[in-house]
Structure 1
Amino acid sequence: MTKTLSFICALTLSMVMISGCANSGWNSADTGTVLGGVVGGAAGSQIGSGTGTTIATVVGTLAGAALGRKLGDNFGQRDRRQFGSALESNPTGNTSTWSDPDSNNNYSVTPTRTYNSGSQPCREFTMNATVDGQPDKVRGTACRQSDGTWKVQS
């Protein structure tokens, strides 16, 4: 269960952080809640078996939504700008590190691979985050959108 929870946390954190970069009109907490619920529900459906699948899906959705809201609340506009700047400017393998003075959360982002998907530049990355004193490591892929923001692809 701990391994599953870590997976859900990592995936939710990754999705919240990058999706917050897109100008969707939603705030980070709303985006985190929705994406966390989706990720949690998907993970829960894979965990349960038989009649327990429905229960696991519901529990996963609720837990993911709660975690996503918390993480979305903690990843502010400044953090999204720092994250996008790291993806935009850092050479592969170079890390950007920053602390949020309002939350005391710490982040570091390292682009690990750069490639094009059609005409879109994309970057794989590793992010280390310490949120509310809890360390987490996230790996993902983000692509630059036409408006210059970075959005998680996987």
Structure 2
Amino acid sequence: MKVFKGLAIGLLAVSLVGCQEGAGPKQNIGTVGGAVLGGLAGSTIGGGTGRLWATGAGVLLGGLIGSEIGKSLDRADRQYMSDRTQYALESAPSGQAVEWRNPDSGHYGSVTPQKAYQDNGSYCREYTQTVNIGGKTERAYGTACRQPDGSWQIVNQ
């Protein structure tokens, strides 16, 4: 019976932590992995019903921490892409692809800027962007315009 209660608490905690809208696969893996490790750590504390509560709390806290770690890895992919996009818009010749790759996740892509033009006094460039995640390639088109501070801001995608 005690084992059943512990499993029920653990499953409830994982289901609550796992209900994150818009979470990516790395964030979901981090959530589940953290919940499992947290549950194992919590199960070593106390005895009787105290152990059950410690296990449930460990699952919940581990899931939350694992989720944040997984989310930061997704941010790393976006940072690689953002850095190379800024470089491409600033320095790459029209039609030349600038590639990016996150060595930790294996995700990669490219940004191909087009010729700069003026729009209401601002310099803008259209671009094509590809992203490959898990063997699936997606393509997007957008426009970015230079800001007064010299950075490029995406104005539509």
TM-score (norm 2): 0.49
Q: Which has the larger radius of gyration?
A: 2
Higher relative contact order (CA 8 A, sep 6+): 1
